[in-house]
Amino acid sequence: MSVLYKSESDRGRAWQALFADHAPDIGFHLWPEMGDPAAIRYLAAWAPAADIFAALPNLEVLFSIGAGVDQLDLSQVPQSVAVVRMVEAGLTEGMVEYAVFATLALHRRVIDYISDQRQGRWQPARLVPPAKRRVGVMGLGVLGQAVLARLSAFGFPLLGWSRTPHTIAGVDCYAGREQLPDFLAQCDILICLLPLTPETRGILCRETFDQLPEGAGLINAGRGGHLIESDLLDALDGGRLAGAVLDVLNSEPPPATHPFWRHPKILLTPHVASMTTADTGGQALLDNIRRHQAGIPMQGLIRRDLGY
């Protein structure tokens, strides 16, 4: 029984060493070396080519090495192969850190101060106490709930929205399209952590921005496909939104002429909010394989009908 890893090699070598130390009964191969293809039951990859599945006749599980699976063409993955997204402590902690940083950057007007510094202007901004700054999170999975738990320490009133109902202590939760307007109307800072599906693509658009309180801030650490970029520019330039922190774009990296590079109300980071780590990611992969071997449900097993 073997695992085939097909992605960035340094992390792969670290995971190979972890398996050698803690799971010598499971072979761990780095692409393109795979040993006996018929022995491979597990594939860990970012976006494998469709033809790899024909080469692995006994494959049982495809593990995405990222938090989502929208990079995969699920129609090309055999129905007999389970698809699992990465759920691991390092990835979650990274997203929590980023969301806190971005929330505080908007709350404390850091984007304005960066613009002022570039113009040589010394101008303190009027601040709002945390108790009067409402923060809403779109997406209440593992990442969204972890972000809300950490933000609670700062005293922000917290809201959450997702496709299905949730109950979270200290959070006003909303669900479904019918409750989205009520949620948006209360979000002074909106954080998008949604999975990218046909239903959520383009959800950060003019209609959404018009329903936020005037002067709200946006954080997108989900996927670039959630955002209609021209609508964001209009909302910022028209004063509907006060600022945006963006970690994901439709095209990464954006071309040198992209207006986000130099927009005074945008803080741009290069898709670094949350990344699978060598240590915790490898252990999460091994733990899930052991779960599968024992007939226990795996962490992060997706529903194909939902796309996440």
Which residues in 81-118 are b (16+ Cβ under 10 Å) and which e? Answer: bbbbbbbbebbbebbbebbeebbebbbebbbbbebbee
Q: Are 208 and 184 in contact (CB under 8 A)?
A: yes
Q: Are 28 and 2 in contact (CB under 8 A)?
A: yes
Residue 165 vs residues 31, 160, 169, 177, 245: alpha-carbon distances, Å: 41, 10, 13, 11, 27
Structure-block tokens of residue 233: 């520019």
The DSSP bridge pattern shows strands 189-192 and 171-175 to be: unpaired
Structure-block tokens of residue 90: 């390092």
- Active-site residue list: 223, 271
Residue 227 vs residues 40, 201, 206: alpha-carbon distances, Å: 38, 7, 10
